[in-house]
Structures are given as structure tokens and as C-alpha cells.
Structure 1
Amino acid sequence: MRSKRKCLALSMLVFALLFQTVPAGAQRSDATSKRAEGDMTKANAATRALYKLLDDEWEWTMRENPTFASNLGDRRYNDRWEDASLEAVGRRQQHRLDTVKRLQAIGRAKLSTADQLNYDLFKKDLDADIEQYKFKLYLLPINQRGGIQNVDELTELLRFQTVKDYDDWLARMKSLPAYMEQTIALMREGVREKMLWPKVVQQRVPAQIDKQLVARPEDSPFFKPFKEYPSDISAADRERLTQSAREAVAQSVIPAFRQLKEYFTKEYMPASFDAVGAWQWSNGAETYAFLARRYTTTGMTPEQIHAKGLSEVARIRAEMQKIMTQVGFKGTHKEFFKKLRTDDEFYYKKPEELLDAYRAISKKIDPHIVKVFKTMPRMPYGVTPIADKIAPDTTTAYYQQPSADGSRPGYYYVNLYKPETRPKWEMMALSLHEAVPGHHFQIALAM
């Protein structure tokens, strides 16, 4: 589920935070609602038009991105996947173009300073989405970091509390073949357009697909929610739901992944690039420059960013030399780096030891945070392992934001795969970045 959808989720989450919109699945306090209503009564026509546009855009985003809505705790679209067809991709682009016209019709000069900032930030993000369309990145729906092969991860974010919650997941399982067809159609178009990832990236994907091709429905990751029910769900409903889940996995989920495995191994993987680099795309240099601007939020060119990187390496090496002197290390930088990478004293031997250490670091950080920050997030966060089935193919750590309705805390996910490759000396910096203050303050504070 990471990769493209993650980029969209982050983009739209920022959108939500900037404009203080609240998903329908979330709750506003009475005081907040009354204050908002009062503010809107006093607002001029331009302000009302802007807020109406932002509200409409949020609702459109929820409808068009059901998995993102589910992630945020909005349950209205829990029974469906997003429309991944090429027609839908084109329709969304037209919607963005129409939205820009609607935004431009609003008198920016009549807005308050704060709302002018909202206007500008929304337009900047919208313009970037419109520009990105021409690069056809939507033709890259799957790689080792995420894609349809990992959509079962959504169960970790959903709440299974009512019969409808289970029926919604059943509906998603039953509609997976159609979603798979759309995804494969995007991949086929990517082959035709030469919009592909290199083989070195894609070679990990078949093993991820294999984890969905189980012998028994009960062993499927999609079946996991049906292994345990809330106490207030009746025995009759449990029996029906469990049997329906077995049938959905056997008749829809597994056949869909068999189809993906066959296409991926026989056609898609062989077509993937042998070399590495965006230069292999038809407009690779322009695409790369666009992504550099968007992800760094600067106007710097790739060449300028590279030069900046070289200067930072030189600066950091000088700092490293000071540390080498402080610890009394006699040797070269290369020898020092080798010691850091190979000395057993810098590594834990067992996954559970590594997890305990991450949690201990977080507990060590927390008391100091109150001394530095005046405002603290109301949402808590937890430290949890990355799932075993994706750990070999993903990053050292990442953050998952809380649900907007407050039903799920934020999570700092840590990778316990091969603990002997995960040095102790990176854990503090990683925790400060990914958890607190880092991404948890960045996102949870604004929610």
C-alpha cells in the first residue's frame, strides 16, 4: 500500500491539516462547530467560497480514494477500492483542471492573510498534481515497496466492531478481481509506454505475491479479521461471516493473485529495465527534475541538489573526524566506518532485543519533549514491529499517522528483520525523526 498511494495520502493529509477539514468519520466538538459556524457567518463571500471549495474537495478526495478514507477513520467507503482504471485517471485530471478554475474565480485579495496562505498552498499542491499527470507515473502501480500485493495491510488500520465492518471487508475481497484487472491494465499500458521500474527493484515482488497464494483460505492475510470477533456479534453472524470469508478468499482473492503472479513473472518482469535510472523514461530528465522540486519543495535543480549533497558530505565527514578524535580512534575514515558496520558491540542479536531498545529510547525521549515543546499532541503513539512479510523489502522504519477520529494512535513502525544489520547508533536519530518529535508532532499536532 505504500508507494503511489502513500504519496497521495501524505499529500492529501497535508491538505487536510492545512485547511483544518475534518473527515465525516471524525467528530468535531460542539464548541468547535459553533465557533466555526460563527466564523463563517462573519466571513465574506470570498472566504465562504474558499471554505466551500475546500470542503467539496475533501469529500471528493474521500470518494475517489476509499482506502485513504478508511485510513483516516472515515468508514463511508469501506466496502470498495478506488477506481484504478485509465478512464478514472483521466477523469480525476479533468476534475483538477475544473477545480483550478473554481479556485481562480475566488477573489484572493479579499481573503484574510491566513486564508491567502491556505489558498496559495492549496493551489501549489493542485498545480503540482496537474503537472504530474503528464509524466504518467500512475503507470507504475507496483514495486517492492508497495502495491496491490500488499493491500491486506489495510486490515491493520480498520476497526472491526460491527457486522457491517466485516461485511464491508467481504465486499472489498469480492471486488478484488476487478481492482486487479485495473491494476494489470495500468501495468500493460506501462509496458507499452516504457514506464517501468528496473528489474533490481521488481525482483522482490514475486515473493510478496506468493504470500497471498495460500493453500487454505484461513491462512490468507485477508482472512485475519475473521479469526476473532467482538463479543456482541452473534454466533449466527459469526458463522455466516466466517464462511463467506472462506469463499471470498478461495473464489476471489487467491485467483486474483494467481492472475497477477502469472502476468508479473511472464510479461511484466521481463519487460522491466535492466539498467537503473529515470533517464530510460521518454521524458525522464523532466520527470526527475519535477520530482526533485516536488519532494524537496525547493526550486533547486537536480544538479544543484547534488552539489548541495556533496558539500553536506564534506561537512559531515569533518564532524566525523572530530568524533573519531573524541573516542580515541586511530585510523582512517574508511576503517572507522568499517568498525561501525561490523563490530558486534553496535548490534543486537535478537529481534525482540532490538524492539525493546527502540521502545526504551522512545521512553527516554518522551520526558524531554515537554521541556522543549509547549503544545503536545493529544494523540498517543506506539512503537510496533513492521510485519514480517514485508520487513525484508521495506525501510528501516516509518511512521503511520493516527486516524482522524481518534480511534487509532500513531505508530512508529520499526524493522526487526536481520537485527545484526541494524546498528544501535542510528536508533536515536531515527526515533527522533520518525516518532517524537518528528512525524508524530508534524501530523498528530495538526489533527
Structure 2
Amino acid sequence: MKTCFAAAFALATVFPAMHAATADAQLKTLYTSEWGWRIAEFQDDEDNTRPVPAHLPHVDTVSQEKRLARWQETLAALEKISPTELSPKEQVNAQVYRVQLQSMIASEKFRDYEMPANSDSSFWGEFNDRARRPFRTEQDYRNWLSQLSELPRYFGENIANMRAGLKRGFTPPQVTLQGRGDAITKTASAKPEDTAFFEPFKDMPPNIPASEQAALKAKALKLIMGTVQPAYRDLDTFWRNEYLPHTRKTLAAEDLPDGKAYYRAQILNYATVTTPPEEIHRLGLSEVAKLRGEMEKVMKETGFKGSFAEFQRMLRTDPKFYAKTPQELLDRAAWIAKEFDGKANLWFGLLPRGRFAIRPVPDDIAPFYTSGRGGPGVYLVNTYNLPQRPLYNLTALTLHESAPGHAFQMPLAAEDTSLPDFRRHSYISAYGEGWALYSEWLGQEMGMYHTPYDRFGMLGYQIWRAARLVVDTGIHSKGWTREQAIAYFRENTALPEHEIETEIDRYIAWPGQATSYYLGEMAIRAARAKAEKELGPKFNIRAFHDAVLATGSVPLPVLEWQVSKFIAGGGKGPYPELE
């Protein structure tokens, strides 16, 4: 452990001349320095405007301990800056930065890195995303080859972490991992040119000479066959023979080491609130009951004469509600996205420059993936198992994952150079998922739902997220079984059976995350209702949306504070010339 003198010396070295600077300058120095270090430390690949990283991050225990020490020192330095001496803008930055640091510190203390794979995501699956980013230069491709050469080391460090997690019972529940190793086996035995690692070489930019393209492709194929795939075979052996058979048989986060504190920390991380699990559970039950009543009213509008359960059965089985081909599903999603484009300027002043593509979820992860997922540059639509992908849900899904949801909000934040980088390129679930769920609800006002079935699908998605409050807390703090959670979803949502099971496994393996959606949406809708009431005829919907989106991804208390400032300013948005 560092002595007090050594710690003071380290801080003075990392944050030079802080004492002589103004409070704003001190804060900017602090977060700018740490962010630059963070990008280098993690070889961040999420900002597509930067070159492809040349290395893979180190995830071994020594590296994790160094990160914890750095973030603890940074938080200590932040706490020494008086908020009253900061400008209003930097006060917000300080609030967001404090929450971000606290979350990263908690993750390191609980040693989350010892569980780098679950039913929803994995360290090997991340390469699908890395391979999809833009490759623009010859150096980008050389950097990618460098990453491939480091993959055995990266896999080895993750395997060592998983062994440590196994030893202390810190693993995902075994029931949620069935079939999740199939992608490892498939990659290990595939033709090198059919793997995600070769994907960037299939459409190389013309500014790279043909001879150099051929040489780079040859090097890639050699690395994939001789370096990458052997690492996958080692991982496959570890997963099937050592890891999976010994993962825990329990479900609850509270059954993990220091489980009660861990689950509370996960709720705080994702939902940015300190609300107790029991209170979240009660709120979920209340909201599900309310939404169920609304769904039954819409059911009657369709002319259906049977019970709610019979209506759900009809929706899950009638072929008219399902696409016949993957392309039909993709085409319908594209049509909905373009319909929103025609309405966007009526509801938003500032629109993002970044556009997005619509692509199918990759085959190797599609069986266990969500129905769709969006972000900067892409809206993924799951075309696997079409009889489980109802079209009456597609409008709500598209508004959530593409525009004005994730593929709209995230580029807006990244393009806002008035925000510091640690806010432009970070994501807080309660805000991001809350906004995306609000986007589904907003579709009613935008005229996006053309039939009672579409509106039923929207309400079905709303009740799905409200039911998450019940199921997440039920599983992780009230002893619910997987079967009990599935039955609750089957009774209260219109989700297809396949999606119910993949979603429940996701909540089991990702405690706390599912609470962020509905809590975030409720906060945004409550903020809007407050603004409408207090501003009266001065309320401008485009100004309100711009004000919410201009915050970037922030904790819910910060969002509420920003909306209060919007109201106090007479409802003027950040871009009055656009409103």
C-alpha cells in the first residue's frame, strides 16, 4: 500500500499545477488527463472517428489493480474541488464525472472482470463489433493485424480471470449459459475467410493499392489460421470442460459473494438511483397492472371477442403477424425508420449528422441475441427464427433502437464538441435506455402506430419493461426461479416464447440493468409533464427534446436538475434558432 507521501507525490505528478489553477481548470485537467489515460488503457474502439487501435487491452489482475488505484486517486482529487467555485457548466461535468468514477471503482472492487462472459455478451463476442467499425487506411488494417497477434494473450488473461471467479463462486448462473459456447466452437473450426476477423478485408478502400491489399489479406488469413483459431480452440476446451460444468447453480445476484451490496451497486450503476429493490418491485407490479388495463382496451378495439390469454395466443401464432423472409423483416424496419425521418423536424430541432445502416444480427450470436439493438451507425435486426419476430412489435423496436432512440441520441452526444470527451463517448443506461423507451411512447404522438395491433405492440413493449422491474428484483432479491419469471412474462406480455426465454436469461445474468429502462422513461416523462405544467403555452416540444438530448448521457438526478434549469429559463432550448 502506498504511503501518504507516495500517494501525494503520485497525485502531484499526474495532476501538475492543480493548486495554482482555477476550479474549472483543475477539473478540466483532471478529467482530460484521466480520459486520455483511459482511452490508451482500454484501447478504446467505440469512437469510429479515431484510427483502429493497434493493441488489445490488458485485463490481468495487476492491470485491474492499477486502474482501481488511478480511479481512487482521481476521485480523491475531484472531492477536493469545491463545487461552489465551479461554473454552472463544470458543475454538471463534475456531477456526471463523480458518478462515472464511483461506478468504475465499484466494478473493480467487486472484481466484475472475473465474469467477462454471460448469456448476453462476452469478450470473444466483442470482436464482431470491432470488425464492423470503419477501416479507412492501410494503418488501420495493420493495427487490426496487430490486435489479432495479441488475441492469445488477451484470451489467456480472461481465462485466468474466469478461473479466479470460479474459485470464489463468482460466475453467471449455469442455466443461462447453455449453448453460449457454440460460437467459440464455430469460430475455431470455420474457414478463416468466414470468420468475423476477416470481415474488414472483404471490402477494402480503393486508396490502398491492390498489391498491398493482397498482402494484407494473406497476412490476415495466416494469423487467423495460425494464431487466432488455436486460441479459440483452447478457449473452447476451457469453456466446455472446466468452466461451464462448474458455474453456479443459483440465480440471484444476492447469492454471489457480498451479494446484497453487489446487487444494490448494480442498480445504482445502471439506474443511477438508490431505490431499494423492494420498492422497485412494488412499482413494477403497479405499472404492470396499469398497462395491462390499457392493453385490454386496445384488444377490444381490434374486435377480438376472446380473453386476453386467447388474444396473446392468436398474436403468437397467426402467420399474418410475421415476416416470411429475413429480407422482408429488414425492409419493414427500413420503411419505419424512413417514416420517422419524414417527421423528425417536427419533434426535434437539432438532428444528428451520423446516419445508420440496418443489418441482420450476425448468425453466430442470433439464437441468443435480443430482437434488435442499435447505436452509432447501425440498427441490428434479428432475423433468426422469424416465427418469433412479430411485426406488430417492429415499430416500437425501430423507434427504440434506431431513431429517435439509440442510433439518434448517441451520435448527437458524440457530435457535441461542447461536451468533454468523457461525456460524449460514455453511456449511462438509465438515461440512454430511458430515452429509447420514451421514444417508443412518443411514437403515439408522432403518428407512427397505424393499427390497434401496432399500438398493442407498443404497450406490450412498455409492459415488458415494467415487468422487468418485477422480474429483476424478484430473481435477484426475492428468490424467484427462472420458471417463475418466465411464467410472469408469459402471463403479462405478448412477447414470443423464444424471446421470453432469452430475455429472462439476460436479466438473470445481468443483474440491475433491466431496472434502468422503465425508471429512466418515467423520469423523462415526469420531467416533461413538469415542464408542460409550469411553462404552459411557452412549452415547445422541440425545445424540450433538444434540452434533454443536449445533456448527453447523464444520471437521472442530473437530468432532472437540467430540466429544472430549462423551465427556469422560460423553456428556451439550447438551439433557439432551430426551434
Q: Corresponding residue for 1:7?
A: none
**Aligned to 1:328, what secondary structure does the other structure show?**
coil
**Separation (CA, whole Å) in 2 of partners of 1:206 and 1:411:** 25
Give 2:400's aligned amino acid: H
Asked if 1:61 is matched to 2:28, the reply is no
- Helix, strand or coil at the partner of 1:71: coil
Say which SS state the counterpart of residue 299 (structure 1) adopts: coil
Map of 2:318 onto structure 1: 343
Distance 1:360 1:123 in 2: 41
Q: CA deviation at 1:228?
A: 4.1
- Runs of 4 or more off by more than 4 Å in structure 1? 74-77
Supply the distance in 2 between the matched residues of 1:155 and 1:132 (Cα, whole angstroms). Answer: 23
1:211 Cα deviation from its structure 2 partner: 2.0
Displacement of 1:390 in angstroms is 1.4
Q: Secondary structure at the match of 1:254?
A: helix
Q: Distance in 1 between matches of 2:162 and 2:92?
A: 38
TM-superposed deviation, 1:371: 0.9
- Give 2:217's aligned residue: 242
Paired position in structure 2 for 1:49: 26
Query: Helix, strand or coil: the match of 1:241?
Result: helix
- 2-side partners of 1:378 and 1:238: how far apart? 31
1:63 maps to a residue whose letter is A
Within 5 A, what are the aligned runs for 1:204-215? 204-214=179-189
1:113/1:229 CA distance change after superposition, 3 Å: closer
**Structure 1 position 85, deviation (Å):** 0.4
Partner of 2:307: 332
Distance 1:432 1:317 in 2: 22
What residue in structure 2 maps to residue 435 of structure 1?
Answer: 402
Aligned to 1:131: 106
After superposition, the C-alpha distances for 1:335-374 in whole angstroms (9 at most, x for unaligned) are 1211122222211121111111111111112212211112
Aligned with residue 367 of structure 2, among 392, 396, 412: 392
Alignment of structure 1 residues 12-51 onto 2, 5 Å: 45-51=22-28
Residue identity matched to 1:418: N
Match of 2:67 among 84, 92, 99: 92
Say if 1:71 and 1:157, in contact at 8 Å, map to a contact too: no
Shift of 1:98: 0.6
Is the 2:51–2:140 Cα contact (8 Å) retained in structure 1?
A: no
Letter in 2 for 1:56: S
Q: Taking structure 1 as reference, are residues 44 and 375 closer, same or farther at Cα in structure 2, changes over 3 Å only?
A: farther
Q: Is 2:173 the counterpart of 1:198?
A: yes
Measured in 2, the distance between the counterparts of 1:338 and 1:50 equals 57
Gaps of 5+ in 1: 1-42, 402-409
User: What's the counterpart of residue 278 of structure 1?
Assistant: 253
The CA distance in 2 between the partners of 1:436 and 1:292, in whole Å, is 27
Tell me the residue number matched to 1:367: 342
Partner in structure 2 of residue 318 of structure 1: 293
Q: In 2, Cα distance between the equivalents of 1:371 and 1:231?
A: 40
Cα deviation code 1:197-225 (max 9, x no counterpart) = 12222222221101211354333321233
Matching residue within 119, 141, 145 for 1:166: 141
1:124-152 CA distance string (max 9 Å, x none): 22122223333222111112322232243
In the alignment, the residues of structure 2 paired with residue 421 and residue 120 of structure 1 have an alpha-carbon distance, to the nearest angstrom, of: 43
DSSP 3-state at the match of 2:102? helix
CA RMSD of aligned residues (A): 1.9
CA contact (8 A) 1:214 1:220 kept: no
CA gap 1:74/1:375 in 2 versus in 1, 3 angstroms = closer
1:421 paired residue number: 388
1:305-331 deviation digits (Å, cap 9, x = unpaired): 111110011001110121122222222
TM-score normalised by length of structure 2 = 0.65
- What code does the residue aligned with 1:311 have? S
Instruction: Report the counterpart of residue 8 of structure 1 in structure 2.
Output: none
1:189 matched to 2:164: yes
1:88 CA drift (Å): 0.8
For 2:282, the equivalent position in structure 1 comes to 307
Distance 1:391 1:197 in 2: 20
Give the SS at the match of 2:357: strand
SS of residue matched to 2:188: coil
Q: Which runs of 5+ in 2 are unaligned?
A: 1-19, 415-579
Give the counterpart letter for 1:133 in structure 2.
Answer: E
In 2, Cα distance between equivalents of 1:222 and 1:109: 50
Q: Partners in 1 of 2:229 and 2:142 — Cα distance? A: 19
- State the identity as a percent: 34
**Alignment partners' CA distance in 1, 2:203 and 2:347:** 42
**TM-score, structure 1 as length reference:** 0.84
The question of 1:444 aligning with 2:419 is answered no
Give the residue type in structure 2 aligned to 1:434.
E
User: Offset of 1:247 from its aligned partner?
Assistant: 2.0
SS in 1 for 2:249: coil
- Asked if the contact 1:383–1:412 (Cα under 8 Å) also holds between the matched residues in 2, the reply is yes
Q: Which amino acid aligns with 2:279?
A: Q
Which of 231, 235, 246 is the aligned partner of 2:206?
231
Maintained 8 Å contact 2:141/2:216: yes
The structural deviation recorded for 1:285 is 2.2
Q: How many correspondences in the alignment?
A: 395
